Amino acid sequence: MKTGFYPHLAADGIRKNKRIYFPYIIMCVVLIAMYYIVSFLQYTDTISDIVGVKTIRFTLNLGGWVLAVFSCVFLSYANAFLMRSRKKEFGLYNIFGMDKGNIGKVIERETAIVAVISICAGLVLGIACSKFAELGLVKIIGAESSYKLTVQPKAVCMTVAIYTVVFILQLLNSQRQINVSTAISLLRSENAGERPPKANATLGLCGVTLLALGYFISVTANFSSSRTLLAVAFIAVLLVIMGTYITMVSGSVLLCRILQKDKSYYYKPAHFVPVSSMAFRMKRNGAGLASICILITMVLVMISSTACLLYGTKFDFYVDNPREFTLDFVAPDPDTLNSSALSDLKAELLTVLEEKNASPKNSYGYRLVNVGVPGWERDLYFIPLEDYNAVMGTDFTLGPGQAFIFTFGNDYDDDNISMKGMEWEIKRNLEEFMYAGSRAMVVDKSTIAVIIPDFDEMTRTLVSLPEFNESVFASFDWVYNFDTSLKPEKQLDLYNDIRITLDDLCQEYGFVGLNSNSRENAGGGEFAMYGGIFFLGVVLSIVFVAGAVLIIYYKQLTEGFEDQPRFETMQKIGMTKNEIRKSINSQMLTVFFFPLLLAMVHLMFAFPLIQRLLLVFKLSNEPLFLRVTVIIGAFVAVLYVIVYRITSNTYYNLVSGIKKEEL
Amino acid sequence: MSLLEVSALKKVYSTRFGGSKVEALRDINFRVEQGEYVAIMGESGSGKTTLLNILAALDKPTSGRVILDGKDMSKIKESAVATYRRNNLGFVFQDFNLLDTFTLADNIYLPLVLAGRPYKEMHDRLVPIASTLGIQKLLNKYPYEVSGGEKQRAAVARALITEPRLILADEPTGALDSRSSDELLWLFSEVNRVGQTILMVTHSINAACTAGRVLFIKDGVVFHQLYCGSSTNEQFYQKISDTMVLLATGRNRG
């Protein structure tokens, strides 16, 4: 045979099977692009400056391997489908005298062509998107990035190497499939008459019961111990997974059978064909659809909870470290805080910083009195109105004996707030509050910040109380937050450098001590890790959803081939094209949107449980969680609709393309 | 007036790029009267399938007319063709074409369901037909559970249930063993006896000699026709057989 023979045959094979090959190649391209992006981010210099870079790189590296394994699984599935649908073609080659070795060579060339196209296109797409991904990651973890497009040769090499291996594995898999089959079995299609599915009422009810039980646990379970809660959550998840499978496989057939019993419903043009073929379809596809449903649920839960983890932690981190540096000068008494010592200290501080080439930006300072009485339900923080106005840029006014309050969690509904004989009328609850700085304010939900106009007077009254320092305790602080123009590692140097200097400084001006903190020093490692996990969650979700969608597409395609003769018959008997279209639409809608719908229902019922679990992590940002869930849900739905349209068109063309010459 | 009138029917197939042209039907003329049972015979490639496709409104003729019940079929709008077919024609195919997702009863109901008839009416229509065809006990079975002959009887029931003007049968015995074939042909005669018009395309002389008239097609024209008349089954069989030999050997009309 001539040298050009095999490549020619291979190229032809791909072209003629483009309906099957095209989605396969797209899937490969997406996977490769995703892999490149993940590995690009591991090596990129942009993130080397940020805090917790090691953690992120580690997370991304791990994610890369997960992606590689999933690529293998998904592509094996798709490849198996590909080979199955081409067995007839290969059987024909076999009968025409090509032995299995020759067919193997054709497959080899085909795989090579697909591999080269996919890897090249995947890399191009990956490189094109890597910048967006980088900007996304950087935004998530809050570093800075340039807009220059770069290519990481190391990432390119890794991608090519990994996916070459993946494709070789696919090739071996295809050849194994050809080797185990004979010419006749290759030729024969598996169109033997299929048994009608039997509805199993017990099993169907069992599935629904399991689902209901899982939902019930999720909604009602409330344990204070996080370990019990996790165990219960695990049981609920198991119940729902089992319930989903049994319901999809058995419950749906049962439903079809019940519908068929209702003669006035069943014998309607719009229901007759869909209901009866759905019974068959669900029997064959129940498990697959259940898997898709669970996959989508996992994606939804994964993204929304990692997002909450990330943004919740990020929020806390920024509450604790509103600026790069936080200095908290502790005064021995209110007089020091309210005297000129404070402004002298501030001037001196600026000089010191100036000397270190770290002139403050975005700075703000305020006075603060934290009053705590053992046995009280809540801590009170008092802040002078003038400081609040200066920091927030507002010009609120208050009369004597009036106050604004700001609550950090729990509502405070009284009209007044009082402390040891002093009382303020609450003008209103503020909606905004300055980020405080960690050392100065240990906030929890019960804390209330009280902004008062008569700060001096209050502090003086406070210290003159007989119980002061006996059963009433207070600390008097001046908190100063600022940014610099320094790079992160320089910030850490500065922090170590000025700590001692400033400590001396504050003694000099009559303060008792300094609590200082720097954002760099505080680490933010865990929050960088959550960022990495969230980012990976998004990447993996895209891959999962793409995989799920590909599986549905192939399923529909297989069924299209099988349904072709049936619709042909129906058309001969007098079914109009319009009726065929309607019937297809109603079937497709069910097959497509049933899993999505069920996934949404799962998520809805999982919501209370996830919420409680997040509380274990001290994260309770309900609106955020809800918002993220809705956005992700909508995104998946949109993607779904697009694929639905493409698939239903392909399917329709497949089944309505009736050869008229044949009757 | 005849039930079906086919005049100067011509069908030319051209290859995709308009290259060579194949004349499948050259000039077909015949009539079928109400209540007749007509068989069409011919070699492979003689154009019988093309003819049947045109009669079934699955294909359009190049020229000529098909008039069913006084109505020109080529004048029917594309959108109304399926409905027209459903209401006026019944089909029996060689390979039964029963849908394996339906029970036999549901298969038989299919055309009526598509026409939007209420269940009661469908059921009332099915009962007598099922008893004529002897499939009452099989109605709740699925196609894979019954024999070929039983499948074909269900297919006949499906064709009959719409009370069509004309039944078109395409090699109805082609996939059956001889006993089932005989049973089916006997049923066709029975159905015809109570007034159903049947047009059957077949290869089988055995099948053709149950008909009242046999049309022979060769090279796209009606080459010859035979009436059963008063001849016995054996005589008619002999006549058809002789004509087939003539057709095959290609001599002129004898």
Task: Summarize pLDDT for A505-537 with one digit per residue, the tens.
Answer: 778 877 887 877 777 776 655 666 677 778 878
Considering the domain boundaries, does residue A98 fall inside one? yes
Residues 6 or more apart whose CB falls under 8 angstroms from that of A288 comprise A551, A555
Indicate whether A451 and A524 sit together in one domain.
Answer: no
Integer Cα distance of A649 and A367 in angstroms: 68
- What band does A651 get if pLDDT is binned at 50, 70 and 90? confident
pLDDT of residue A88: 77
Indicate whether A356 and A216 sit together in one domain.
Answer: no
For residue A231, which of A245, A217, A243 has the smallest C-alpha distance? A217
Residues of B in contact with A566 (CB under 8 A): 99-101
- What band does A29 get if pLDDT is binned at 50, 70 and 90? very high
Integer Cα distance of A402 and A302 in angstroms: 47
Give A69-137 as a DSSP string: HHHHHHHHHHHHHHHHHHHHHHHHHHHTT--HHHHHHHHHHHHHHHHHHHHHHHHHHHHHHHHHHHHHH
Indicate whether A468 and A445 sit together in one domain.
Answer: yes
Considering the domain boundaries, does residue A603 fall inside one? yes
Check if B53 contacts A (Cβ < 8 Å).
yes
Sort strands A473-483 and A325-331 into parallel, antiparallel or unpaired.
antiparallel
CB-CB: which of A279, A574, A663 is closest to B83?
Answer: A574
pLDDT of residue A212: 92
Considering chain A, what is the average pLDDT of its residues? 79
Indicate whether A442 and A574 sit together in one domain.
Answer: no
Residues of A in contact with B158 (CB under 8 A): 573
Residues of A in contact with B57 (CB under 8 A): none
Check if A256 contacts B (Cβ < 8 Å).
no
Considering the domain boundaries, does residue A511 fall inside one? no
The answer to whether the beta carbons of residues A100 and A181 sit under 8 Å apart is no
Give B175-204 as a DSSP string: TS-HHHHHHHHHHHHHHHHTT--EEEEES-
pLDDT of residue A112: 92
CB-CB: which of A268, A566, A577 is closest to B99?
Answer: A566
Give mean pLDDT, residues A46-70: 77
pLDDT for residue A192 is more than 50: no
Residues 6 or more apart whose CB falls under 8 angstroms from that of B250 comprise none
Integer Cα distance of A276 and A25 in angstroms: 35
pLDDT of residue A616: 66
Number of domains comprising chain A: 3
A277 contacts B82? CB cut-off 8 A: no
Give mean pLDDT, residues A592-608: 85
For B28-68, how does the pLDDT look when each residue is reduced to its tens digit (9 = 90+)?
999 999 999 999 998 877 888 888 888 888 888 889 999 98
For B136-149, how does the pLDDT look when each residue is reduced to its tens digit (9 = 90+)?
999 998 888 888 88
CB-CB: which of B86, B97, B144 is closest to A193?
Answer: B144
Considering the domain boundaries, does residue A429 fall inside one? yes
Indicate whether A167 and A213 sit together in one domain.
Answer: no
Domain-terminating residue out of A146, A165, A192: A192
Integer Cα distance of A466 and A464 in angstroms: 6
The answer to whether the beta carbons of residues A132 and A36 sit under 8 Å apart is no
Indicate whether A12 and A97 sit together in one domain.
Answer: yes
Least confident among A43-47, A219-223, A616-620, B22-26: A616-620
Considering the domain boundaries, does residue A439 fall inside one? yes
pLDDT of residue A438: 43
Any bridge partners for residue B25, and if so which?
A: B11
Sort strands B21-32 and B4-14 into parallel, antiparallel or unpaired.
antiparallel
The answer to whether the beta carbons of residues A451 and A417 sit under 8 Å apart is no
A97 Ramachandran zone, left/alpha/beta (phi>0; psi -120 to 50): left
Considering the domain boundaries, does residue A494 fall inside one? no
A-B contacts (CB, under 8 Å): 96
Integer Cα distance of B47 and A372 in angstroms: 103
A621, exposed or middle or buried, with CB in 10 Å at 0-12, 13-18, 19+? Answer: middle
Domain-terminating residue out of A427, A459, A485: A485
Which one of B94, B99, B145 makes the best mutation probe of the A interface by having the most chain A beta carbons within 10 Å?
A: B99
Indicate whether A643 and A661 sit together in one domain.
Answer: yes
Check if B100 contacts A (Cβ < 8 Å).
yes
Domain-terminating residue out of A485, A504, A532: A485
CB-CB: which of B49, B79, B110 is closest to A573?
Answer: B110
Sort strands A380-384 and A361-372 into parallel, antiparallel or unpaired.
antiparallel
Considering the domain boundaries, does residue A272 fall inside one? yes
Residue of A nearest to B78 (CA): A576
Indicate whether A345 and A316 sit together in one domain.
Answer: no
CB-CB: which of B49, B86, B116 is closest to A573?
Answer: B86
Indicate whether A566 and A658 sit together in one domain.
Answer: yes
Considering the domain boundaries, does residue A499 fall inside one? no
Least confident among A111-120, A587-596, B2-11, B68-77: A587-596
Indicate whether A7 and A148 sit together in one domain.
Answer: yes
Check if B77 contacts A (Cβ < 8 Å).
no
Give mean pLDDT, residues A78-95: 80
For residue A302, which of A638, A628, A608, A639 has the smallest C-alpha distance? A628
Indicate whether A317 and A364 sit together in one domain.
Answer: no
Name the pTM for this structure. 0.65
Indicate whether A619 and A659 sit together in one domain.
Answer: yes
Q: Which domain covers residue A24, as residue numbers?
A: 1-192
Residue of B nearest to A575 (CA): B82
A577 contacts B119? CB cut-off 8 A: no
- What band does A658 get if pLDDT is binned at 50, 70 and 90? very low
A193 contacts B106? CB cut-off 8 A: no
CB-CB: which of A269, A574, A663 is closest to B49?
Answer: A663
Which one of A567, A572, A587, A656 makes the best mutation probe of the B interface by having the most chain B beta carbons within 10 Å?
A: A572
For residue A338, which of A367, A372, A370 has the smallest C-alpha distance? A367
